[in-house]
């Protein structure tokens, strides 16, 4: 099954917690802290794979989780780093942040892309030892890995796109000018998925042509198969518009031409500006009056290059392909989508992208919530003064104290963080 758009969830690995341990050696009293650091969580990395042609593998598996970092251990042993998760996608896949729709990466090159970064490992208690704090009984928790939803959208990497109504001869044309072997039959929608073919012009000269499934009126708004596949035309440098000049389907070729171009403009106005070549197919079935009328319309009114062909027997196709290759030499390379900046409001909602929290007031009690605070609390010893000092520094650095002040908290008011209650002292 050809699948070219999916939404998946990514969860990078969490950093391992730092260890709270002390040296225990024979004949060595109070040896001091020796807790190791936690390991870094694994990243989620994307890589383009030319052997893949569809996103079907993502249809049934939608959640991807990298390995967590291991916690630190005694004797200053650091935890093991979590393994990166490598996800392979078809070349030409565009990765977008799901909420904002902004482009994160275009997987059209061999360069790998880190979509979600693993959390840093927490410091062991050795980092908190000082001349005045010789036995710290707390360590730093690992940072959660980044978590977000992304949309994978496959946009074929083709130099030339074939457009036209169903059954006008696009598949026949690509089969005789390239190495593609599409299904060819005399009925509508024989081509259900885009077909790529390499057109070889010489030993070191070639270009890629894409046969896009037949469009119909309303395709730009989602009617028929067209809307599903118009995205594959967006990268094309040049369009060959194949038209049945004989009107064998009972349609007028001029109306066909205008309808398809209208659908392109509806789907993406930029496509209207894409260079076009018109290939009048089935001239063996057309009258001289029909061909003359359509040729005048294309050449005189539309000012477009015009070629007459009989696709199944390759008549007229050599001149068409030679002109296409010459025209491509003048055009810029295949479009690559640039990375876009993701607005801050979408980033802060992702677990791991900063320490997100919320403060609410109810009956004089100020409740602070935030998933990352749970791990901090688990590592805090309420009976240890130095541990509480560290927790207070975390509250200040993360902005929680400032947020409480903005909410109007007064000295002596109660703050509740997941069951841990204390009086606020500015």
User: Each residue of 221-278: pLDDT tens digit?
Assistant: 444 444 566 766 778 889 999 999 988 888 899 998 998 888 888 877 888 888 999 9
Q: Which of 384, 253, 227 is nearest to 306 (CA)?
A: 253
The mean per-residue pLDDT over the stretch 305-328 comes to 93
**Rounded-to-integer distance, Cα 399 and Cα 403, Å:** 6
Identify the weakest region by mean pLDDT among 98-112, 144-158, 211-225, 310-324: 211-225
Can you give the pLDDT at residue 188? 47
Most confidently predicted of 12-26, 301-315, 324-338: 301-315
Identify the weakest region by mean pLDDT among 52-66, 67-81, 210-224, 275-289: 210-224
State how far Cα 376 lies from the chain centre.
32
- DSSP character at residue 157: -
pLDDT of 152 over the 90 cut: yes
pLDDT of 1 over the 50 cut: no
Please tell me which residue, 426 or 359, carries the higher pLDDT value: 359
8 A C-beta contact, residue 402 and residue 359: no
Q: In DSSP terms, which residues pair with 281 in a beta bridge? A: 244
pLDDT in tens, 392-402: 888 888 888 88
Q: In DSSP terms, which residues pair with 97 in a beta bridge? A: 150
Can you give the pLDDT at residue 243? 93
pLDDT of 375 over the 80 cut: no
Distances (CA, A) of 225 to 50, 182, 188: 25, 17, 11
Mean pLDDT over each residue of the chain, to the nearest integer:
82
Please tell me which residue, 377 or 322, carries the higher pLDDT value: 322
The mean per-residue pLDDT over the stretch 158-175 comes to 86
What confidence category does residue 324 fall into, taking pLDDT thresholds of 50, 70 and 90? very high
pLDDT of 342 over the 80 cut: no
pLDDT of 370 over the 80 cut: no
Can you give the pLDDT at residue 269? 81
User: Could you give the domains of the chain?
Assistant: 1-154 (2.70.210.12), 160-328 (3.40.50.300), 356-423 (3.30.300.350)
What are the b/e assignments for 70-101, b being 16+ CB within 10 Å?
bbbbbebbbbbbbebbebebbbbbbbbbebee
**What is the helix, strand, coil percentage profile of the chain, to 5?**
25, 25, 50
Can you give the pLDDT at residue 193? 64
**Rounded-to-integer distance, Cα 152 and Cα 163, Å:** 24
Can you give the pLDDT at residue 281? 93
Can you give the pLDDT at residue 348? 46
What are the structure tokens assigned to 46, written together? 């994307």
What's the predicted TM-score (pTM) here? 0.67
Please tell me which residue, 71 or 218, carries the higher pLDDT value: 71
Please tell me which residue, 321 or 361, carries the higher pLDDT value: 321
What are the structure tokens assigned to 118, written together? 């693993």
pLDDT cut 70: percent of the chain above it? 84
Can you give the pLDDT at residue 240? 93
State how far Cα 283 lies from the chain centre.
44
Can you give the pLDDT at residue 39? 93
What are the structure tokens assigned to 4, written together? 């070219």
Identify the weakest region by mean pLDDT among 84-88, 165-169, 324-328: 165-169
Can you give the pLDDT at residue 347? 52
Q: With the C-alpha atoms ordered 349, 351, 354, 355, is the resulting torsion angle positive or negative?
A: positive
Instruction: Please provide residue 401's backbone torsions phi and psi, each rounded to the nearest 5 degrees.
Output: -60, -45
Helix (H) or strand (E) holding 261: helix 253-267
């Amino acid at each position: 099954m050809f699948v070219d758009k999916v939404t998946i969830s990514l969860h990078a690995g969490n950093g391992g917690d730092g260890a709270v341990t002390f040296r225990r050696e024979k004949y060595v009293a109070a040896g001091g802290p020796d807790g190791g650091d936690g390991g870094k969580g694994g990243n989620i990395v994307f890589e383009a794979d030319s052997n893949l042609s569809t996103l079907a593998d993502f249809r049934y598996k939608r959640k991807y989780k990298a390995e967590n970092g291991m916690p630190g251990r005694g004797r200053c042993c650091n935890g093991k780093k979590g393994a990166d998760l490598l996800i392979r996608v078809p070349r030409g896949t565009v990765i977008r942040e799901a909420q904002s729709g902004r482009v994160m990466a275009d997987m059209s090159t061999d360069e790998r892309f880190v979509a979600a970064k693993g959390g840093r490992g927490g410091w062991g208690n050795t980092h908190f030892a000082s001349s005045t704090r010789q036995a710290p009984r707390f360590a730093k928790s690992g940072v959660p890995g980044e978590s977000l939803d992304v949309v994978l959208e496959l946009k074929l990497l083709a130099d030339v796109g074939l457009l036209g109504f169903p059954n006008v001869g696009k598949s026949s044309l690509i089969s005789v000018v390239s190495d593609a072997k599409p299904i060819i039959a005399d009925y509508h929608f024989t081509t259900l998925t885009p077909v790529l073919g390499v057109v070889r012009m010489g030993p070191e000269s070639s270009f890629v042509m894409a046969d896009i499934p037949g469009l119909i009126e309303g395709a730009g708004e989602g009617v028929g198969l067209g809307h599903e596949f118009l995205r594959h035309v967006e990268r094309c440098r040049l369009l060959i518009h194949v038209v049945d000049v004989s009107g064998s389907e009972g349609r007028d070729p001029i109306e066909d031409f205008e309808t398809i171009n209208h659908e392109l403009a509806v789907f993406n106005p930029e496509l209207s500006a894409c260079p076009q070549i018109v290939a009048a197919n089935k001239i063996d079935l057309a009258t001289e009056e029909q061909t003359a009328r359509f040729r005048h319309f294309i050449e005189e009114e539309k000012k477009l290059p015009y070629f007459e062909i009989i696709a199944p027997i390759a008549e007229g196709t050599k001149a068409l392909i030679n002109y296409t290759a010459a025209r491509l030499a003048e055009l810029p390379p295949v479009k690559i989508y640039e990375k876009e900046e993701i607005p801050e409001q979408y980033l802060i909602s992702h677990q791991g992208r900063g320490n997100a929290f919320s403060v609410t007031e109810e009956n004089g009690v100020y409740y602070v919530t935030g998933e990352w605070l749970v791990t901090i609390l688990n590592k805090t010893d309420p009976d240890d003064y130095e541990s509480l000092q560290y927790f207070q520094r975390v509250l200040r650095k993360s902005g929680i104290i400032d947020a409480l002040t903005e909410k109007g908290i007064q000295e002596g008011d109660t703050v509740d963080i997941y069951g841990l209650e204390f009086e606020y002292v500015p």
